[in-house]
Amino acid sequence: MSQRSALMGPALRMGGLVLALVLLVVVGVATGGERFWSTGNLITVLSLAAVTGVVSIGMTFVITSGGIDLSVGAVVGLASVWASTLATQYAAQDYGWWVIVVTALAVGLVAGLVNGALVAYGKVPAFIATLAMLAAARGLAEIIAGRRTQVIRDVEPFFDVFQSRPLGVPTIVWIFVVVAAAGWFLLNRTTFGRRTVAVGGNPEASRLAGIKIKRHTLYLYGIAGLTAGIGAVILLARTTAGSSTHGTLLELDAIAAVVVGGTLLAGGRGTITGTVLGVLIFSTLTNVFVLNNLDSSVQAIAKGAIIVVAVLLQQWFAAREKVTST
């Protein structure tokens, strides 16, 4: 029985989210009909989800370990700017489109590692360290870009790659799928994932069991930074430009998706599947709102209500899970 509940548990816990998503889709079909339920529109929903989605995967790791990263949005902005400076663009013209990608990823990674070092070795609370990074990364991005939007020109291969549609699905959606799958695997099937959950559940016990929690924390924020770098690449592909305003408030969307998905903000339990569902819920919501031509203020209220309902549904399913497993 305990075996069964261990298997059923996560599925049931996801139940509330899946139900919320299904309800949204029903509303979408009812109000938008074919305009909602068309391949084109579904791809639009997924494309919109890609940036938040990728960043949320990294965020899931950080939150599972009991931390938080408020800087991801700003780091997306910084990475997008750095990867679209004239210098980078010239280099990309000379050496290949990958220069842009590598630059964005490297900027994201380094920013993440700085966060990680501050949290792990400087013992600065994660909230503070990443808030400081938020401010600093935005400032730096503005200075680099001179507050101008930097359009990427004459690096056609970059767009050829990232704006293509293998099997009819945009590359950026594939990137989201791959990152999510890799994240799921990393969290659930590897020692790295196990350590992440352990550190979040009880850092002192993990330390005393011989886990190098500082180094691990460093890596975790590195991952969050790296996914922010990937997010920047996706945004560059979508907007053809880098800007210091890219990713504004993205951190809130990402955290909301992760927490609505069922990852504990206190750490110790994380679910990539839940995060993906959370991201899809928010992105479908935006889409359904647009289809219904809803006033943005009403949207905001509806959004608040829907978040609460999704969580209450989850609670209800969790309670049912307990009852059925006895």
Q: Which residues bind a second copy (CB under 8 A)?
A: 118, 122-125, 127-129, 131-140, 142-143, 147, 252, 255-256, 259-260, 265-266, 295-305, 307-308, 311-312, 315
- Residue 194 binds to another protein (criterion: CB under 8 A): yes
Among 174, 286, 311, 313, binds another protein (CB under 8 A): 286
220 binds, among a second copy, another protein, none (CB under 5 to 8 A by kind): none
* Nearest of 130, 127, 80, 71 to residue 232 by alpha carbon: 80
Q: How far apart are CA 219 and CA 229, in angstroms?
A: 15
27 or 264, CB closer to a second copy?
Answer: 264
Quick check: 54 and 231 in contact, CB under 8 A?
yes
Q: How far apart are CA 69 and CA 298, in angstroms?
A: 30
- The residues in 49-78 that bind another protein, with binding defined as CB under 8 A, are 51-52
- Residue 27: its H or E element: helix 2-32
Quick check: 60 and 265 in contact, CB under 8 A?
no
* DSSP code for 168: G
11 or 300, CB closer to a second copy?
Answer: 300
- Residue 147 binds to another protein (criterion: CB under 8 A): yes
259 binds, among another protein, a second copy, none (CB under 5 to 8 A by kind): a second copy
Binding segment for another protein (CB under 8 A), chosen from 86-94, 111-119, 176-184, 272-280, is 86-94
Q: How far apart are CA 98 and CA 121, in angstroms?
A: 33
Token representation of residue 169: 């699905």
Q: How far apart are CA 154 and CA 146, in angstroms?
A: 21
- The residues in 288-317 that bind another protein, with binding defined as CB under 8 A, are 289-291, 293-294, 296-297, 299
200 or 225, CB closer to another protein?
Answer: 200
- Residue 322 binds to another protein (criterion: CB under 8 A): yes
Give the number of residues in contact with another protein, rule: CB under 8 A: 82
213 or 277, CB closer to another protein?
Answer: 213
Binding segment for another protein (CB under 8 A), chosen from 119-127, 220-228, 242-250, 307-315, is 242-250
- Smallest distance from a second copy to CB 254, Å: 12
208 or 252, CB closer to a second copy?
Answer: 252
- Residue 252 binds to another protein (criterion: CB under 8 A): no
- To which residue do tokens 């509806």 refer? 302
Binding segment for another protein (CB under 8 A), chosen from 97-105, 174-182, 205-213, 308-316, is 205-213
Q: How far apart are CA 110 and CA 229, in angstroms?
A: 10
39 or 296, CB closer to a second copy?
Answer: 296
Tally of residues, the chain: 326
In degrees rounded to 5, what are phi and psi of residue 31? -95, -30
Quick check: 76 and 228 in contact, CB under 8 A?
yes
Burial class (CB in 10 A: 0-12, 13-18, 19+), 109: buried
- Smallest distance from another protein to CB 45, Å: 8
Q: How far apart are CA 225 and CA 112, in angstroms?
A: 4
58 or 262, CB closer to a second copy?
Answer: 262
- Smallest distance from a second copy to CB 135, Å: 4
- Residue 31 binds to another protein (criterion: CB under 8 A): no
Quick check: 241 and 150 in contact, CB under 8 A?
yes
Quick check: 126 and 69 in contact, CB under 8 A?
yes
54 or 119, CB closer to a second copy?
Answer: 119
197 binds, among another protein, a second copy, none (CB under 5 to 8 A by kind): another protein
